[in-house]
């Protein structure tokens, strides 16, 4: 029979690697929740139009979407990014504003799969709806920055730009249109014919022809209106005040169509340049209206969690071997009675992290499992211990030959706690996720 494998561009994340994901998600949740953001869990698929509204002319929506017709004839698509669903949810439920939300979920894009580019990747993001205060832009950027810092990344760079609003963007667009019209035959194959559809996208094109042809293109920053210019100035002041280093990149237009005013992107200097984007986001002050809601400004970011972990690999941080062990105790039973069953249950009820061997395996093989489990202590229940109402405690990190310590069953929990306290890093349930 054919051997089943994960579809191209997807992968299984197994233990112990998955422990890094748990830690990453816990960090993200802790940071954004401490700033007043609430979790939104929305469907993995939506009416295809929800995504078409946000990016009709983008590759993500035009070419890469997992689109399908369900058995009821509905046109649906798997989410390619997170913002559209949050905006749809806002329009549907009309929560009080400002609505500060976060999510962590897979995104699906039919891309050419390669290292750091998957067909299912995972994004953690936040969105704030209902305020255009530039201090919110600073808050959003600062939270992403704090997240990268919290996992130990040092080689993260931040680019910011402003794309103007409904007043100044059309004026700029027209200037850019005129500029591109005069140079259309110098653009790449795709943009030679499509530049007019969304002239800003040409600035985002990485093909050398487009990069060269647009080197002197006009910048939105030179066209910002009386409302957008001070808004952007306040954002830059805020970043400087918080000590967050950034560069202004007038070519930063981002992939999706809906951005207005502040846009930003984080990249890693540790990663290869084609796949070095860690995340990005920006304002989308017209998107709620576009989706059928009342005029409502919004801003958010999406961070690629797969890429964040690749950057961690390259910077040598958040290593599996640095995570604290997941277990306190491993119970082995050579007596073959009820000991392992009953004691393991008691340990867990007392809040200790405990696992055990099953299937009456040999002492040698049970002790090997104890070693492999990463637990600090093994509890050994042999016939002598059963007869005496005792349990032997073996420190799995002690030098070979260190004598085991025998305690009465009644005193067991206290003795284990005493020993774990002497190694603070392993104390308490799921301590490694909350540190
Ligand atoms: P975007 O919505 O394209 O700005 O994506 C946000 C972030 O998600 C990017 O900065 C990447 O870190 C990550 N990302 C996007 N597409 C992929 C992909 N195909 N595979 C892995 N990560 C991705």
- 10 Å Cβ neighbour count for 30? 14
pLDDT at 194: 85
**What are 388's two structure tokens?**
């005496």
Q: How far from the centroid of its chain's Cα atoms is residue 207's Cα?
A: 28
pTM, two decimal places:
0.92
pLDDT at 434: 42
Cα distance between residue 313 and residue 270, in whole Å? 9
* Ligand 1 pocket: which of 13, 204, 307, 312 to mutate (most atoms within 8 A of CB): 307
Residue ranges of the chain with pLDDT lower than 50?
A: 425-435
Q: Across the chain, which distance is largest between two alpha carbons, in Å? A: 94
With a Cβ cut-off of 6 Å, ligand 1 is lined by 81, 109, 111, 117-118, 121, 123, 255, 277-280, 302, 304, 306-307
Closest C-alpha among 139, 115, 141, 146 to residue 309: 115
- Alpha carbon nearest to ligand 1 atom 9, residue: 279
CA of 412 from ligand 1 middle (Å) equals: 50
- Alpha carbon nearest to ligand 1 atom 6, residue: 279
Cα distance between residue 166 and residue 172, in whole Å? 10
**What are 9's two structure tokens?**
């561009």
Residues pairing with 377 in the sheet: 329, 395
CA of 424 from ligand 1 middle (Å) equals: 38
The helix, strand and coil proportions of the chain, stated in percent and rounded to the nearest 5, come to: 40, 20, 40
pLDDT at 424: 53
Residues pairing with 96 in the sheet: none
pLDDT in tens, 280-324: 999 999 999 999 999 999 999 999 999 999 999 999 999 998 898
pLDDT at 199: 87
Residues of the chain with CATH 3.30.930.10: 17-168+224-320
* Ligand 1 pocket: which of 275, 277, 281, 310 to mutate (most atoms within 8 A of CB): 277
- The correct answer on CATH 2.30.30.30 for the domain covering 327-427 is no
- The correct answer on CATH 3.40.50.10800 for the domain covering 17-168+224-320 is no
- Is the separation of the CB atoms in 333 and 357 below 8 Å? yes
pLDDT at 205: 86
pLDDT at 49: 95
């Amino acid at each position: 029979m054919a051997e089943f494998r994960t579809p191209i561009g997807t992968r299984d994340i197994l233990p112990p690697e998955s422990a890094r994901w748990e830690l990453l998600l816990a960090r993200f949740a802790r940071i954004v929740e401490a700033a007043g953001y609430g979790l939104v869990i929305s469907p993995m698929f939506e009416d295809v139009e929800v995504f078409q509204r946000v990016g009709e002319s983008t590759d993500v929506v035009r070419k890469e979407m997992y689109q399908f017709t369900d058995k009821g004839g509905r046109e649906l698509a798997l989410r390619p990014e997170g913002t559209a669903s949050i905006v749809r949810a806002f329009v549907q439920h009309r929560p009080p504003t400002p609505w500060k939300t976060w999510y962590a979920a897979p995104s699906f894009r039919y891309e050419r799969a390669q290292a750091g580019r998957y067909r299912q990747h995972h994004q953690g993001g936040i969105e704030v709806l209902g305020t255009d205060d530039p201090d919110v832009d600073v808050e959003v950027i600062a939270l992403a920055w704090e997240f990268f810092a919290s996992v130990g990344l040092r080689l993260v760079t931040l680019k910011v730009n402003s794309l103007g609003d409904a007043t100044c963007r059309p004026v700029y667009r027209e200037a850019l249109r005129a500029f591109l019209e005069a140079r259309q035959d110098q653009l790449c194959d795709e943009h030679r014919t499509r530049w007019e559809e969304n002239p800003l996208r040409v600035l985002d094109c990485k093909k050398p022809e487009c990069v060269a042809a647009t080197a002197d293109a006009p910048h939105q920053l030179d066209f910002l209106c009386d409302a957008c210019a001070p808004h952007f100035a306040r954002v830059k002041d805020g970043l400087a005040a918080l000590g967050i280093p950034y560069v202004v990149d007038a070519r930063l237009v981002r992939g999706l169509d809906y951005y207005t005013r502040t846009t930003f992107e984080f990249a890693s200097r540790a990663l290869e340049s084609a796949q070095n984007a860690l995340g990005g986001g920006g304002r989308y002050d017209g998107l709620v209206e576009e989706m059928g809601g009342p005029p409502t400004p919004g801003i958010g970011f999406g961070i690629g969690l797969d890429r964040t972990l690749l950057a961690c690999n390259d910077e040598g941080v958040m290593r599996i071997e640095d995570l604290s062990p997941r277990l306190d105790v491993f119970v082995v039973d050579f007596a073959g009675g009820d000991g392992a069953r009953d004691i393991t249950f008691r340990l867990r009820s007392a809040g200790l992290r405990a696992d055990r061997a099953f299937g009456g395996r040999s002492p040698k093989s049970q002790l090997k499992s104890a070693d492999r489990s990463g637990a600090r202590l093994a509890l050994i229940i042999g016939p002598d211990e059963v007869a005496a109402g005792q349990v032997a405690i073996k420190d799995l990190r002690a030098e070979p030959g260190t004598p085991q310590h025998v305690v009465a069953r009644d005193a067991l929990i206290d003795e284990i706690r005493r020993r774990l306290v002497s190694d603070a890093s392993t104390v308490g349930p799921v301590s490694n996720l909350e540190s």
